[in-house]
Amino acid sequence: MTNLAYAGAFMALLGVALAGVIAFANRRLYVYEDPRIDQVEELLPKSNCGACGTAGCRNFAEKVVAGEILPAQCTVNAPAQNTVIADLLGVDAGSVEKRVARLACAGGRHVAYLRARYAGHTSCRAAAVVSGGGKDCAWGCLGLADCAEVCDFDAIHMDTHGLPVVDADKCTACNDCVEVCPKGLFSLEPVSRKLWVACKNLADGDTAEASCEVACTACGKCVVDSAPGVMKLENNLAVIDYAQNARAAKQAIERCPTGAIVWFDNPNFSIKGAESKKILRQNELPLISA
Amino acid sequence: MKLLSYFRGEAFQRGVHPPGCKHTADTPIRRLPFAPRLVVPLSQHIGKPSRPIVRVGEEVLRGQPIAEADGWLSVPQHAPATGVVEAIELRPSARGPWTECIVIRVYEASTQEVLWGTPQDLDAFPPQDIVLAVQRTGMVGLGGAAFPSHAKLTVPEGARVETLVVNGCECEPYLTCDHRLMVEHANDLMTGIRHAMRATGARRAIIGVEDNKPAAAEAMRRALPPGSEIFVEEVPTKYPQGSEKMLITALFGVEVPSGKLPLSLGMVVNNVGTLAALGRLLPAGQGLIERVVTVTGPGVARPGDYRVPLGTPISFVLDYAGAPAQARQVILGGPMMGQSVASLDVPVTKGVSGVLVFRGEDMAGREGRRSYPCIKCGECVESCPMGLNPSMLGMLAARREYDAMGEQYHLGDCFECGCCTYTCPSNIPLVQQFRVAKQILREKAAA
């Protein structure tokens, strides 16, 4: 019986002693952390997408509390939610122009020719290492949906012609699709940039049009029709100087013969010029025979 | 070479035995006529693209330099035919992206004699001048890697080369261009070996030949200069013996450490095709303007080894060799490591060792075969000559965990021989996934 009492007393003493060590350590090794960091993190989407440029939502919360970054830098949150964060911290929410991912290609299966049919691992990256993927236009979209797969926000869907369509409302400009595309066709563009060249083909006009009906043929009509300095031709391709974006006008697209130059009336919908050729075909084009 | 015969039993661990299909082994090398237009890409090698030194409209002589080396890891290009430069523009390449090319319209009435080049006495050259002379020929590894030969023959400060290993394995099915070169041009090969030995300071040279090519071994033994330190060694046939690391293991029973070059063991490995071409071009002071290409496969009416001017479009080669219009798949290189091409407009470049053509009916069983989940049978692990775990690498690739593939599973050691994909019963395109992963890791390292 006494053995039991000794053992019990010993264990109790040991417990008290260890508790003392823990209490001591808690005091001495305590690191003060601003409780607002946790509160801010709670208000963030926790998608850790990296669109804001930080390592993740926790890191973003730390920087917001430290005042290094404004709440509006988080493009995933709704603006109202960012205002809540700003009010909590008593800072200005700031404003960031919304950016969306945009594809510089319009060559779906109904307008762009294939030279060879790719059979193998269904991924744009994998197809691109096999002689470029078989599309006649070496710069064009392969349509195997790497971007749609990598998008965490369900903002990219493939249309019936095998081209990715970006839902601007869901797109958070996280850069994942930009990184995954083997042809480098995606870029993040502020929504105020309405004029857009939906082509990257660097071949000469005839060759480009022979491989894709909606390719930029570098005819130069858009350059003539827009204000001086807004557009120019570079390596057989029309290029927009977005430093002059304020002067860009819808007129630039009107005479584009192929419809490669488009105007984004709203971020989700682009229109072609009146003189661009009408594409009625819905079916896939046949292979180009050698 | 009693020392070497000790290792004869097992060539190297793992690997596979694909069917040989070397149908063109007994056909002599024939010359292909000139195509009306030749397209010479400025980037046919690993390293910086060459810089053009001709202008559009300029007339060029066969063998004349038309582009110079841009820096050390680069080589010059020579005109493959007498003609006029029609354009310097972007053209499709076998890899996919369009690259800068010099387009030459060939003069039909020209005799196409090589009038360019001054004979040089290499025996009077010090080793570093031989290396420079090699660079002037524009030579790259003709086995397929297209790594500039002069860079390979350069021995860095502090290193010493004991042995020059000459790679005559040609382990890829179908290909016989190296075999024919060994049989027909053994003397050129010996000249090339002699100069390469002087350039590197190697004491001896060992030619490794697979034992399915007795004629080649026999021809080379006959051509051996008396009293020289050049030996011909036969090794048991197995794929991928033509990889330099595998050949060294097969010949000497030692393994090249991971991430190191054969140089760390005092060895330099060169392909027989490269050295045979060097043996012919170096004494004449000429440049590389043609190469031997195996044109074969079930879809070719007149298969054989052809001496093809560089820059000849694949479509012209196939027309001449008689490929039917229903050709379904065209591969540049061998069936294991070669590259399918999407366009027949791409030219034959320095690294193209073969053109394989398969018809629709040859592909019938293979097209549309889907891949199944990995059943963890371990076939790929047992076939990987580098001792990697392709199954695990494949699963990581599917999850896009490229960093783990590189750091924990030694993806960098994979040389894309294709054994894993060849043996996989689930038809998983492993080696293709690894190529993608390696490309992404390279991009990350460059960024």
Residue spans of the domains in chain B: they are 30-116+287-362, 118-284, 379-446
Domain containing A62 equals: 35-89
DSSP state of B262: G
| A27 token code pair | 């005091």
* Residue B425: CB atoms within 10 Å: 11
Helices B127-136 and B272-284 cross at an angle (nearest 10°) of 100
> A169-181: per-residue pLDDT in tens?
889 888 889 989 9
CA distance A62 to chain B (A): 27
Q: How far is CA A163 from CA A135, A159, A201, in A?
A: 13, 5, 16
Q: Are strands A261-266 and A195-197 parallel, antiparallel or unpaired?
A: antiparallel
Q: How far is Cα A154 from Cα A140, in angstroms, rounded to an integer?
A: 23
- Cross-chain Cβ contact A132/B97 below 8 Å: yes
Q: How far is CA A171 from CA B2, B26, B157, in A?
A: 70, 62, 55
Q: Backbone phi, then psi, for B182, in 5-degree steps?
A: -65, -35
Please name the helix (run of DSSP H) or strand (run of DSSP E) that holds residue B90, with its range, or none.
Answer: strand B83-92
> A250-284: per-residue pLDDT in tens?
888 999 999 999 999 888 888 888 888 888 888 88
B96 CB neighbours in chain A (<8 A) are: 128-133, 138
Q: Is B309 helix (H, G, I), strand (E, B) or coil?
A: strand
Q: What is the pLDDT of residue A79?
A: 82
Of the partner residues A125, A135, A203, the one whose CB lies closest to the CB of residue B436: A125
Q: How far is Cα B45 from Cα A281, in angstroms, rounded to an integer?
A: 42
Q: Are strands B30-31 and B304-309 parallel, antiparallel or unpaired?
A: parallel
Is residue A287, in this structure, part of any structural domain at all?
Answer: no
A2 contact partners, CB below 8 Å, separation of at least 6: none
Note whether B366 and B350 are within 8 A (CB): no
Q: CATH number, domain at A174? A: 3.30.70.20
Please name the helix (run of DSSP H) or strand (run of DSSP E) that holds residue B83, with its range, or none.
Answer: strand B83-92
Domain identity same for A62 and A201: no
DSSP state of B347: B
Cα B214 to the chain's mean position, in Å?
22
- Cross-chain Cβ contact A129/B90 below 8 Å: no
* Topology of the domain covering B118-284: Rossmann fold (3.40.50)
| A205 token code pair | 């006009």
Helices A79-89 and A35-43 cross at an angle (nearest 10°) of 170
B436 CB neighbours in chain A (<8 A) are: 123, 125-126, 129
Q: What is the dihedral of CA A273, A279, A284, A288, to 10 degrees?
A: -80
- Cross-chain Cβ contact B96/A126 below 8 Å: no
Q: What is the pLDDT of residue B447?
A: 76
Domain identity same for A113 and A232: yes
Q: CATH number, domain at A62? A: 1.10.15.40
Q: Are strands A269-271 and B30-31 parallel, antiparallel or unpaired?
A: unpaired
Q: How far is Cα A188 from Cα A179, in angstroms, rounded to an integer?
A: 11
- Same topology, domains B30-116+287-362 and B118-284? Answer is no
> A98-143: per-residue pLDDT in tens?
889 999 999 999 999 998 888 888 899 989 988 888 899 999 999 9
Domain identity same for A125 and A224: yes
Q: How far is Cα B65 from Cα B60, in angstroms, rounded to an integer?
A: 9
Q: How far is Cα A105 from Cα A97, in angstroms, rounded to an integer?
A: 24
Is residue A2, in this structure, part of any structural domain at all?
Answer: no
Domain identity same for A156 and A77: no
Is residue A4, in this structure, part of any structural domain at all?
Answer: no
DSSP B209-224: EETT-HHHHHHHHHHP
CA distance B331 to chain A (A): 10
- The radius of gyration computed from the CA coordinates of chain A, to the nearest angstrom, equals 28
Domain identity same for A76 and A110: no
Pick the CATH number of B30-116+287-362 from 3.40.1010.10, 3.40.50.720, 3.10.20.600, 3.10.310.10: 3.10.20.600
Note whether B100 and B42 are within 8 A (CB): yes
Classify B299 in phi/psi space as left (phi over 0), alpha (psi -120 to 50) or beta. alpha
Judge whether residue A239 has pLDDT over 60: yes
Q: Are strands B339-340 and B327-332 parallel, antiparallel or unpaired?
A: antiparallel
Please state whether the predicted TM-score (pTM) of the whole model is above 0.90: no
Q: How far is Cα B30 from Cα B10, in angstroms, rounded to an integer?
A: 36
Judge whether residue A185 has pLDDT over 90: yes
Q: How far is Cα B46 from Cα A86, in angstroms, rounded to an integer?
A: 54
Work out the average pLDDT over A5-16: 96
Domain identity same for A205 and A84: no
Q: Where are the alpha helices (DSSP H) in A162-220?
A: 176-180, 205-211
Q: What is the pLDDT of residue B76?
A: 94
Q: What is the pLDDT of residue A289?
A: 67
Q: How many residues does chain B have?
A: 447
- Cross-chain Cβ contact B342/A125 below 8 Å: no
Is residue A233, in this structure, part of any structural domain at all?
Answer: yes
Q: Backbone phi, then psi, for A218, in 5-degree steps?
A: 55, 45
Per CB distance under 8 Å, which residues of B are interface residues toward A?
A: 89-90, 92, 94-98, 315, 325, 339-345, 367-368, 371, 429, 432-433, 435-436, 439-440
- Cross-chain Cβ contact B90/A203 below 8 Å: yes
DSSP state of B363: H
Closest CA to A114 of A142, A154, A79: A142
CA distance A234 to chain B (A): 14
| B121 token code pair | 């006495």
- Cross-chain Cβ contact B340/A203 below 8 Å: no
Cα B111 to the chain's mean position, in Å?
30
Domain identity same for A242 and A189: yes
Work out the average pLDDT over A165-191: 91
Mean pLDDT per 10-residue run, chain B (447 residues)? Answer: 47 85 90 93 91 93 92 92 93 90 91 84 87 92 88 88 91 92 92 91 91 90 88 89 89 87 90 92 91 92 93 92 82 90 91 90 75 91 92 90 90 92 91 91 86
- Cross-chain Cβ contact A119/B367 below 8 Å: yes
Domain identity same for A76 and A123: no
Sign of CA dihedral A32, A35, A40, A42: positive
Closest CA to B96 of A162, A215, A135: A135
Domain identity same for A108 and A126: yes
Of the partner residues A115, A202, A289, the one whose CB lies closest to the CB of residue B342: A115
**Tokens 């004699």 label which residue?**
B113
Domain identity same for A250 and A209: yes
Cis peptide before B225 (omega within 30 of 0): no
| B44 token code pair | 């046919």
Q: How far is CA A62 from CA A58, A66, A67, A92, B238, in A?
A: 6, 6, 9, 16, 59
Look up residue B100 and give its amino acid.
Answer: E
Per CB distance under 8 Å, which residues of A are interface residues toward B?
A: 115-116, 118-121, 123, 125-126, 128-136, 138, 202-204, 289-290
- Could you give the number of structural domains in chain A? 2
Q: Is A103 helix (H, G, I), strand (E, B) or coil?
A: strand
Q: For residue B213, how many C-alpha atoms fall within 13 Å in the half-sphere facing its CB? A: 38
| B277 token code pair | 């071409």
Q: How far is Cα B216 from Cα B222, in angstroms, rounded to an integer?
A: 10
Q: Backbone phi, then psi, for B251, in 5-degree steps?
A: -80, -40
- Cross-chain Cβ contact B98/A120 below 8 Å: no
Note whether B300 and B322 are within 8 A (CB): yes
Judge whether residue A83 has pLDDT over 90: no
Note whether B431 and B420 are within 8 A (CB): yes
Note whether B107 and B172 are within 8 A (CB): no
Is residue A219, in this structure, part of any structural domain at all?
Answer: yes
Classify B311 in phi/psi space as left (phi over 0), alpha (psi -120 to 50) or beta. left
- Cross-chain Cβ contact B343/A116 below 8 Å: yes
- For residues A3 and A95, the model is more confident at A3
The residue of B100, B315, B328, B341 whose CB has the most chain A CBs within 10 angstroms, and thus the best one to mutate to test that interface, is: B341
CA distance B291 to chain A (A): 22
Q: Looking at this predicted complex, what is its ipTM?
A: 0.82
Domain identity same for A243 and A113: yes
